[in-house]
Amino acid sequence: MSPLERPLSILALSPFLPYPPDHGGRIRTFLLLRELARRGHRVALVALVESEAELARAAELAAHGLTVQPVLHLRRFGSLTLADRVRKATNLLRGRSDVLARFASPAALRVARHAMRGPWDVVLAELLWTAPLALRLDARLRVLDAHNVETVIARRTAENTTGVLARAAARLEARGLRRDETRLVSRFEAVVVVSDADRERLAERVPGAACTVIGNCVDTDVLLPLAPAPAAAPVCLFVGSPTYPPNARAVEFFGREIFPEVRRRFSGARFVAVGADPAARLSRLAREVPGIAIPGYLEDIVTAYREATVVVVPIAVGGGTRTKILEAMALGRPVVSTTVGAEGLPITPGEHALVADEPGVFAAAIAVVHEDRERARKLVDAGRRLVEAHGSARAAGAALEALLRASLERKAIR
């Protein structure tokens, strides 16, 4: 039977367990794999996890049609041991990415080869970090779902890093990651990117890369518009994992540079930054700046959206596209974002969201959304239409299925 007709066997690899789907990478991975399973394909997943609690949650993915094999793998991004520091220095001095090296897992390779037996039509690597593993497995087709162009994030991180030694290390990481990313991307038969901007970046560095844009997505059947939040002063919400450095930087930037101006205009204004395992410096921020709350992980994130009057995306460093913007728009909340935060999404500033980069202008945009209810309503309506047209999980899953079938068909003809 032709690959255009029969169900496909797909082995996916993820650097994290995509459940619960509570941050951008998890949401994209979960929804795309779930959609493939809903379309009748056999989908198996090998996922790296960092705790026993994550191991226990892996079984919950079976209810969504996925066969999952979690592999315990500690990456220690927070505090490094002496052995970690030696490895990092060695990698950087040899022109390699140390971040990429931290995801190397011989145990995951053994599981993928032996416990998750094929044959597989497709090996699907979620994010660059699982690309080396995917390239060591047998399949008719190897596909990389590049949630980000990681080199862009590394370069921007280096530009924003302070301290002579820290900045030097960040620059070496960016240089090594650029080499590694270029080499790995060139070896995949198909590459999925989340925006036209990311496609252009990869095409410039890897001219032969077969890149297809499938944007980030949310479940528009579940995330329905909420009623406007009644509040006398703005309630600004940021959603994102604070263990991801661009998110932590964004919370600090908003809390120290933008929010004080919002409080000057509206004495009762609040800023709530939601995400699991906030760093000590973010907890300190909440103690030092009045009106800021860092509640950590919330089981029901919709509760936070229900109380928010505006969702803020003050991202200065990052890549890909922000699922948090799609989520906010689906739930009927106006968005104020930086240019980088809105990058890659088909957003028209002033129509779908307000975009500002300077702290004073950002604070003024929040004031506009709060004081001009008609303007806020128009932003909300336009945002919901945008998500339904360009950001639904159902459409993204169909696009990925079409790409896999077409790529297999082309390979069969050769």
pLDDT given at position 305: 96
Task: Evaluate whether 134 touches 123 at the Cβ level (below 8 Å).
Answer: yes
| 307 exposure class (CB count in 10 Å sphere: 0-12, 13-18, 19+) | middle
C-alpha span between 212 and 199 (Å, rounded):
7
pLDDT given at position 115: 75
For the record, the structure tokens of 336 come out as: 């104020």
C-alpha span between 291 and 286 (Å, rounded):
8
pLDDT given at position 307: 95
| C-alpha separations of 329 from 148, 339, 366, 375, 389 in Å | 21, 17, 16, 15, 12
pLDDT given at position 411: 85
For the record, the structure tokens of 35 come out as: 């959609």
In 3D space, the residue among 406, 307, 399, 299 whose CA is nearest the CA of residue 39 turns out to be 399
pLDDT given at position 97: 96
> How many CB atoms within 10 Å of residue 322?
25
Under-50 pLDDT residues of the chain: none
Task: Please name the residues in contact with 82: beta carbons below 8 A apart, sequence gap of 6 or more.
Answer: none
pTM exceeding 0.95? no
> How many CB atoms within 10 Å of residue 127?
21
Angle ∠(288,306,383) on CA atoms, nearest 5: 105
pLDDT given at position 414: 64
pLDDT digits (tens, 9 = 90+) for 236-261: 999 988 888 889 999 999 999 999 99
Q: Which domains does the chain have, with CATH numbers?
A: 9-217+392-413 (3.40.50.2000), 235-390 (3.40.50.2000)
Task: Evaluate whether 135 touches 186 at the Cβ level (below 8 Å).
Answer: no
For the record, the structure tokens of 115 come out as: 């416990």
pLDDT given at position 82: 84
pLDDT given at position 288: 95
pLDDT given at position 322: 84
pLDDT digits (tens, 9 = 90+) for 185-217: 999 999 999 999 999 999 999 998 999 999 999
pLDDT given at position 218: 96
pLDDT given at position 79: 67
Task: Evaluate whether 305 touches 335 at the Cβ level (below 8 Å).
Answer: no
Q: Which residue type occupies 287?
A: R
pLDDT given at position 54: 86
